[in-house]
Amino acid sequence: MAKVKVKFVCTECGTESPKWMGKCPGCNAWSTMVEETESVVKAPVGRTEANRTKEKARSIIDIESGREPRILTGLEELNRVLGGGLVPGSLLLVGGDPGIGKSTLLLQTASKLAAQGLKVLYVSGEESVRQTKLRADRLGALSDNLFVLCETNLDHVEEAIADVGPDFLVIDSIQTVYRPDVQSAPGSVAQVRECTAHFMRISKGNGVATVLVGHVTKEGAIAGPRLLEHMVDCVLYFEGERHHTYRLLRAVKNRFGSTNEIGIFDMTEDGLREVANPSELFLSERPTGVSGSTVVASMEGTRPVLVELQALVTPTHFPSPRRMTSGIDNQRVSLVVAVLEKRMGMFFQNQDSYVNVAGGIKLDEPATDLAAAVSLASSFKDLPTRPFDVVFGEVGLTGEVRAVSRAEQRVKEAHKLGFKRVILPETSMKGWQPPAGIQVIGVRTVAEALKAALE
């Protein structure tokens, strides 16, 4: 008979312990150790791991090299994030908040792949086949090569995979699938780990591109141990604000491409629509002739995106002024405020400062420093900025403006959208020529940038 063993596993990092502990010894997280039971079965005589045939090691010189074949999904934004398309045999993990559109994105992708003649199996553990059909009717995602299955038992799912022989497999979601021989509830650490490992063997062994949908915690991370993200080839996060219709698909891990790319979609009644020019979307409601508004050119991977950066500086009656930000790092804004106080003589100690990236997008690169400084100074002095200016650059603690990468691409994007001037670091102007019809102003200090932008 199998021997039942009890252990405690951390839900954050997967550390195992024979006894319960309040603090995980692996990641130092509190109250994350959960009890699990597993059955230990002795291997039959003659069937040990040592007796099994193993692949022999080869010299890396003798291994043939070549580019991985790609399957175009029919969605250019998704292809961009994946690094050029799906790789056969790859295992992907997609996470996001409930109701953000993960199932809609994958059902549209499955439909476009099925329209190319590929066999697609969509396994849903949260919806019935009728509910999936209702969504497919609304999205127009109907094809003879798209097969739908409502099942949570891993053995039955494996039988369906063997019967259909899909080229693309979707598991929605991995937290609902369970292995009958694992003595844990569906969604537990043991079930999620074992089911993911099983799908990884199916994907690698049969060359099936597999997508796993993962639930997220209240902090926004994918539920389950971090080991889950290490097992897959690609981790994608589907993000977006509930009060806005657009959605961002961001890669945080990708073995077959860059992790800096993002895909932008617009949620409509008929499903997700690709946004070919996100700069026009984020600047469509920008006011003109008001103080505190600046357009910044940010890089998302290899794509330049122009967004509006707003600032509001107002007197406060409290001894400690507020520093609130939305869509931009609060620490970098505090750094910019300190530079304006020390180097420019602006008194912010009795002023509340609010900085917001319009549209809800998140910017995390230092090139937004100079635009934040211009917006804060514009609101502080109540002087409007020019409506056809674009600003970008990194600000140092001594008040200098430091160079940023891909300045040429940022300037070309501004020129394409009809902007007349670009204020950027002087050291970023070397090695390229700006396009005709746009003025490029190189600055070395914050004082020079404010003089060019506000006077």
Known binding positions for ATP: 96-103
Angstrom distance (rounded) from CA 348 to CA 331: 16
Q: CB neighbours of 4 closer than 8 A, spacing ≥ 6?
A: 37, 38, 39, 40, 183
CA dist., res. 376 & res. 366, Å (int): 16
Which CA distances in Å does 17 have to 7, 33, 183, 236, 304? 6, 9, 17, 30, 47
For residues 282 and 305, give the distance between their C-alpha atoms in angstroms, rounded to a whole number.
9
Instruction: List the structure tokens of 370.
Output: 């100079």
Known binding-site positions: 96-103
The structure tokens 């999620």 sit at 192
Phi, psi of 377 (to 5 degrees): -65, -40
